[in-house]
Structure 1
Amino acid sequence: MNVDLSGEVLTGQDIGFTVVLRTSGGYTITIESRLTVESPTGTVQASPGPDTEADLSVHLGPLAHHRITAADVDTAGGLDIKFDGGTRLHVDPDEKYEAWTINGPDGHLIVSGPGGGLTEWPSDRQR
């Protein structure tokens, strides 16, 4: 599934027990599970939390004001986002928990459910 995030600019982020990324067009990407960030400064694999906040900040912090060049969601529940400058963020589905969600500005919601798979709610315009 191709998620229409291309061209969105990362405008905000919170890193703690979850990773929350906000975009210029009003999308919110929330990651609650193990993620991989491959950046020019290296690669980190970590689950969000206080013990990994510093490592994740080193790799995600520099993405402020960077543009998303591609975003894909696979039917198993994986998420892959590429940014200009060469950084890639990937989240696999989680066996027990929701791995990530994408909330659109129009109410469109995609959730990677426990054990994999996707649940999707249409936008307010499609209801």
Structure 2
Amino acid sequence: MNSGGVVPVGELIEGDDHWVLPIADLLVTQLRFDFAVTLIFEEHFHVRMEGVIALSSDVGSSDSVIEVEGDVDQLVPLLRLKTATVREGLAFKDGRLELTFTDGSRLVAPAGQAYESWQLAGPHGLLIVSVPDGGLTIWMPKTDEGTE
């Protein structure tokens, strides 16, 4: 971690039950909708989510439950995340993803029972995948020397 308290791009920090993702202070530059929802961030990061996700507008508000492959009207609340800035991203070891934003919004993608519910991809080969029935598979970024 650098002196500013921000995780350097590409560096994961392991906690007891989670990983701190290296996306703090990054701006959402694009949203993509297909059979999944993809948030595209600065610095070549993206998060792709499938299944059911929850979005709250600020601390203490009720969640909007969004079925990604459901009715398109359910996706409208996600539009407010375009140009949102990430405060913190956490990948829990049980397979859950939590993203909080500087405007107070919070996005949660639970682990899927029979599918990979989300994945984060970043520069230098960083890839984190929430595997079926919970848990994470992590490919660490490669260094300049070509090793992890």
TM-score with structure 2 length normalisation? 0.79
Percent identical residues: 26
Indicate conservation of the 8 Å contact 1:102/1:110, yes or no.
Answer: yes
Give the SS at the match of 1:106: helix
Q: Is the 8 A contact 1:44 1:56 kept in 2?
A: no
1:91 to 109, 113, 122: 109
Match of 2:75 among 56, 72, 76: 56
> 1:55 is aligned with what amino acid?
Q
Which residue is equivalent to 2:96? 78
1:40-86 deviations in whole A, cap 9, x for unaligned?
Answer: 596311221151x22222x1111111110011111100000001111
Does 2:29 correspond to 1:29? Answer: no
Task: Tell me, yes or no, if structure 1 residue 3 matches structure 2 residue 24.
Answer: no
Question: Could you tell me which residue of structure 1 aligns to residue 5 of structure 2?
Answer: none
Correspondent of 1:17 among 18, 35, 46: 35
The two structures, once aligned, show a CA RMSD in angstroms of 1.6
The Cα shift of 1:124 comes to 2.5
| Residues 50/34 of structure 1: CA separation in 2 closer, same or farther (3 Å cut) | closer
Residue 39 in structure 1 maps to residue 57 in structure 2: yes
CA distance in 2, matches of 1:89, 1:48: 13
Could you list the structure 1 runs, at least 4 aligned residues long, displaced by more than 4 angstroms after superposition: none
SS in 2 for 1:62: helix
What are structure 1's unaligned runs of at least 5 residues?
none
Q: How many Å separate the matches in 2 of 1:16 and 1:49?
A: 8
Q: Quote the Cα distance in structure 2 between the aligned partners of 1:36 and 1:16.
A: 18
Residues paired across the two proteins, number:
125
- CA shift, 1:15, in A, is 2.1
The secondary structure found in structure 1 opposite 2:44 is coil
Cα distance in structure 2, aligned partners of 1:60 and 1:50: 14
Distance in 1 separating the partners of 2:33 and 2:102: 21
Aligned to 2:122: 104
User: What is the rounded CA distance, in whole Å, between the counterparts of 1:112 and 1:3 in structure 2?
Assistant: 14
Paired residues of 2:51 and 2:69 also in contact (CA < 8 A): no
